[in-house]
A and B are shown apart, each in its own frame.
Chain A
Amino acid sequence: GAGVSQSPSNKVTEKGKDVELRCDPISGHTALYWYRQSLGQGLEFLIYFQGNSAPDKSGLPSDRFSAERTGGSVSTLTIQRTQQEDSAVYLCASSPTDYNEQFFGPGTRLTVL
């Protein structure tokens, strides 16, 4: 079956512009996570969605970051007024429940010039 897909695979933008990153989880997975992977760093948790519950936004680094998940499936991570320090690989993951391993997408590499 299809895995987690993310688009675009690469995004280059200018400082101050807004960007939207998309994640399409595995069908039927109720849990969806966004992480950020910076060069030389581990993965940094950003946000978590589970079904219709309120998302856990505790990892979002600033109010320029937001995410939504429509219909319990596709998710969009939006970064407003991008800064150079936002440059990173943004990874999305999904899992069948909270207690299973997470399945990761290939990531979106964001470069802010």
Chain B
Amino acid sequence: AQSVAQPEDQVNVAEGNPLTVKCTYSVSGNPYLFWYVQYPNRGLQFLLKYITGDNLVKGSYGFEAEFNKSQTSFHLKKPSALVSDSALYFCAVRDIFTGAGSYQLTFGKGTKLSVIP
């Protein structure tokens, strides 16, 4: 079974400050990890992914995430937050190991990011 935890329902950060949105995961084998963002009344937009290779992954809009295997974490980060970054952020995982149900993504419950001007 695979699972994702986003321990914070909401994160508030001042504009210009660095931001972190936390994600931890659990899979049987090796993970594929994803971050998506959802703006109000919109579908999910892909931000970045970790498949293999460098643990630091860079994505869209200046976001990056660091894969930490020992801590089973994949926290989303940005050095300087913008008001326009305010949205709902979802972490997702799937197991690389093929098997029944392995192609589906398992999503966290989402973290609402509010960037305060």
Contacts and interface: CB of A to CB of B under 8 A. Distances in A.
Interface of A: 4, 31, 33, 35, 40-43, 45, 48, 50, 56, 58-59, 91, 93, 98-99, 101-107
Given A40-B109, A105-B43, 13 more contacts: A33-B104, A41-B109, A42-B107, A42-B110, A43-B92, A43-B107, A56-B100, A56-B103, A59-B104, A101-B46, A101-B49, A106-B43, A107-B43
B37 to A, nearest CB: 11
B44 A91 contact: yes
A4 B101 contact: no
A86 B110 CA distance: 20
22 contacts: A33-B104, A41-B109, A42-B4, A42-B108, A42-B110, A43-B105, A43-B107, A48-B103, A48-B104, A56-B104, A58-B101, A58-B104, A91-B44, A93-B44, A98-B103, A99-B32, A101-B34, A101-B49, A104-B36, A104-B43, A104-B44, A104-B45
Contacts of B34: 101
Contacts of B43: 4, 91, 104-107
Contacts of B46: 101-103
Interface of B: 4, 32, 34, 36, 42-46, 49, 51, 90, 92, 100-101, 103-110
A45 B44 contact: no
Given A42-B90, A99-B32, A50 B107 contact: no
Contacts of A93: 44
A40 B6 CA distance: 13
